[in-house]
Amino acid sequence: MARTDARQAAPQTAPPTDLFTPAFHQNPHEALAGLRRTAPAVPVATPNGLRTWLVTGYEHARALLADPRLSKDMRVGRDLIPRNFADPDKQRAFLAESGERSQFPHVLSVHMLDSDPPDHTRLRRLVGRAFTARRVESLRPRITELTDELLDAMARHERLDLMEALAFPVPFTVICWLLGVPPDDRAAFRRWSNLLVSGAGTDEVREASASMIAYLKALIEAKRAEPADDMLTDLVHAQDAGDQLSSDELISMAFLLLVAGHETTVNLIGNGTLALLTHPEVRQQLAADESLWPAAVEEFLRYDGPVTNATWRFTTEPVEVGSVVIPEGEFVTISLGAAGRDPARYPDPDRLDITRAHTASVAFGHGIHHCLGAPLARLEGQIVLSRLLARFPGLRLAVDPDELRWRSSLMMRGLEELPVFTA
Ligand code: HEM
Report yes or no: 359 and 380 within 8 Å, Cβ to Cβ.
no
Confirm or reject: Cβ of 414 under 6 Å from ligand 1: no
87 alpha carbon – ligand 1 mean position (Å): 33
Q: What angle do CA 43, 341, 39 make, to 5 degrees?
A: 30
Q: Please indicate whether residue 40, judged by its CB atom, sits closer than 6 Å to ligand 1.
A: no
Instruction: Tell me how far the alpha carbon of residue 390 lies from the centroid of ligand 1, in angstroms.
Output: 28
C-beta of 57 in contact with ligand 1 (< 6 A):
no
The residue whose CA is least distant from atom 30 of ligand 1 is 372
What CA–CA distance (Å, rounded) separates 253 from 393?
Answer: 40
Contact 421, 398 (CB under 8 A): yes
Q: Whose CA is nearest to atom 39 of ligand 1?
A: 371
365 Cβ inside 6 Å of ligand 1: yes
Q: Is 113 in the pocket of ligand 1 (CB under 6 A)?
A: yes
Sign of CA dihedral 65, 67, 69, 72: positive
**In ligand 1, which atom is closest to the CA atom of 113?**
37
Domain boundaries, the chain: 6-421
**Each residue of 115-168: pLDDT tens digit?**
999 999 999 999 888 888 888 999 999 999 999 999 999 999 999 999 999 999
Instruction: Report the pLDDT value the prediction gives residue 6, as an integer from 0 to 100.
Output: 40
CA-CA distance, 219 to 189, in Å (whole number)? 12
The predicted-structure confidence for 284-334, as pLDDT tens digits, reads as follows 999 999 999 999 999 999 999 999 999 999 999 999 999 999 999 999 999
Neighbours of 123 (CB within 10 A): 22
Cβ 270 under 6 angstroms from ligand 1: no
Q: How far is the CA of 372 from the centre of ligand 1 (A)?
A: 6
Q: Is 305 in the pocket of ligand 1 (CB under 6 A)?
A: yes
Assign domain 6-421 to its CATH architecture: Orthogonal Bundle (1.10)
Kindly state if the Cβ of 256 falls inside 6 Å of ligand 1. yes
Least Cα distance to 308 among 348, 338, 273, 331 occurs for 338
How high is the ipTM of this complex? 0.99
In Å, how far from its chain's centre is CA 195?
A: 16
Residue 98 predicted with pLDDT over 70: no
Mean pLDDT across 376-384? 97
For the chain, the first-to-last Cα distance in angstroms comes to: 60
C-alpha to C-alpha distance for 27 and 405, rounded to whole angstroms? 10
Q: Quick one: what percent of the chain has pLDDT higher than 90?
A: 66
pTM: predicted TM-score of the whole model, two decimal places: 0.93
CA 11 to chain centre: 29
